[in-house]
Structure 1
Amino acid sequence: MALDHTTGLNSLGFAKPPAETRVVVAMSGGVDSSVVAAKLAEEGYDVVGVTLQLYDHGAALAKKGACCAGIDIHDARRVAEEMGFPHYVLDYENIFKDAVIDEFADSYLAGATPVPCIRCNERVKFKDLLETARDLDADCMATGHYIQRKLGTHGPELHSAADTNRDQSYFLFSTTPEQLDFLRFPLGHLPSKDETRKLAARYGLPVADKPDSQDICFVPNGNYASVIEKLRPGAAEAGNIVDVDGNVLGTHDGVIHYTIGQRRGLGIGGLADPLYVVKLDVDNRQVIVGPKELLATRQVPVREINWLGDGAFTDEAERHVSVKVRSTRPPREAIIRPISATEATVELLTPEEGVSPGQACVFYETGGSRILGGGWIWKGA
């Protein structure tokens, strides 16, 4: 692909031919990042594929469909060989454990519901790997995330993917403006995942029919508690299930087995009305349950805010935006009231159920696709 005659830029936004543009592609071994690498290689870019080994191969090979497991590294290497570009595997086990897994365990033990995929993007892929890309003299780094990077009046902006069913903006809110300047997301404009698989088939990629990974890469079958027990032996201490007045309704085998909003599997049947987990008291080893209406939250305290909007975060006393408090929920209208450059109170105009410490609160332009940043919901929720 040559330069665009209108702008004088190539498809990645550089004023030079693709052959003179080096791009490092973060390859997980899945179909998305493989298509990105193949697409850019076909367009004539100087592609370098990099795959991260994030955890022990022995355990990883036993987990079908996990990101960056042994089979995934093998698949990424096969794609690179097929398309004729170099591919490197970097050992990031220690970095991943220190930056992601340990915090996941500690956060879960503290009664929060962490989102390790966000921390992985923030602390590993878009930090250490991005620096590695710079060390390789790359002009940019491309990933298979479904999100869009668009040029605005003040520089690059982050926008939701064209396919709302695949949009990964919730997991990328902590991307900084400096990182966004270096990153590219070639799949964000595609209308559906089917289009990605069609491209994979057209390029003849061996991963064209590979299923998507469903779970957190180091959590087999979505069983968080079993992973925590391996990481922190003895962490699952038994305690009581109590109602909001402190009455004991039953016992449990560890707070780590419960999440805010949970209804099923409480082991306290026979009650007239359904009860939900409304709070986890780790210090007293109590799972506190109550009626569904107690889950409704309007005021959400947020910290560690990464602001991607125009101007400084504290320029305005309040901002009317839309927010997501869970990755699976649509954005809802809210008001952000800054406390400092990195802290705020978010008022939800319509109360949300099951707002949990450890989840992210991501800010969106109301009625638009732009991501304005976000932060972490903390204990006051």
Structure 2
Amino acid sequence: MIRALSAGVCALVLAACGGESPPQTVTLHDDNPVNLSDWGLVTAANGALELGEGVTPYDLNTPLFTDYAHKLRTVWMPEGASAQYREGDVLDFPVGTVITKTFYYPRGTAPGRVAKAPETASERAGNGLKLDQVRLIETRLLIRDEGGWRALPYVWNAEQSEATLQRGGAVKRLTLEDEGQPRDFAYIVPDANQCKGCHATNNTTREIRPIGPKPRNLNKTYAYAEGAQNQIAKLVEAGYLVGAPAAETAPALAVWDDESAPVTARARAYLDVNCAHCHNPAGPADTSGLHLNVEAEEDAHLGVCKPPIAAGRGSGGHTYGVTPGAPDESILLFRMRSDAPDIMMPELGRSLVHEEGAALVEAWIAGMDGACRS
């Protein structure tokens, strides 16, 4: 167990200066503590979800869809450690890095309900969250050890005071208010082994690794408590990143719901983030021949006029993955619009259909020229 700095010493120093209580000190554990608060990364206190010392929030240009949940992402590294910039891949994080992702919803209008709504500044308390505005569901940890990454799921209690380790995952029965209409659904917290379903992006090594923090997805402005700043520049300034170019020369993925951007760029960004951790040349779905990573160029690898390898009911009776100009005849969209376990794609991480994401992919396919040979 490694402790960055004694919380008691910090408290004495600030008390002598008449300052406020310091953020909780992060503790890097070799074991797997039952309580999330023991890590000191994100802690429920003073009516807020507070971040520990050196814990830096970040966001993604285009995020993964998870049943309309909002997400607070953070990264922490030991003192003196930095990630190495990698242009087309996830940052090369050092041993000791801990990444957290807290899933939460805005509170609904009725007790016990959650709301489908865009993220607003009113949810934020500094760099954390206001607990009277949100309902915390789970916090997932990715910890970089000497032997690689390990994943731990922590589930928040009803009192919103603590999250506890639940290796076997959990099912949360929720009611989502969608434009005033309640929708009951089962939110699935994955078990520790299911984390590999998304985070083992290489089907040969099967090693767990982060997915989201790539330069192209981090290159955006974030509204930090201390002021808005580009995230790549912020990580460099914090000593958490080396080897990065100026933010204006780094790649940037399209924002999926930014209607001022081209439909193709937004749809490709959406598929890259939501599907390409499996559908890439080395991924778990490599035998499908369907590559949805943003670097894929050939139409056939994107599913255009490509028959499925083995789809079963998942084909929906359609012939091709993507039929140009005919979204309703495309297997890709059929599976995105389904919530049946043996049909839907992605097959993990959601119980609901992402209506807005499906509409984007529909518009992309509808705008394609050409026709498939019969």
Tell me the TM-score normalized by structure 2.
Answer: 0.26
> Which structure has the greater CA radius of gyration?
1
Q: Name the TM-score, length of structure 1 as normaliser.
A: 0.26
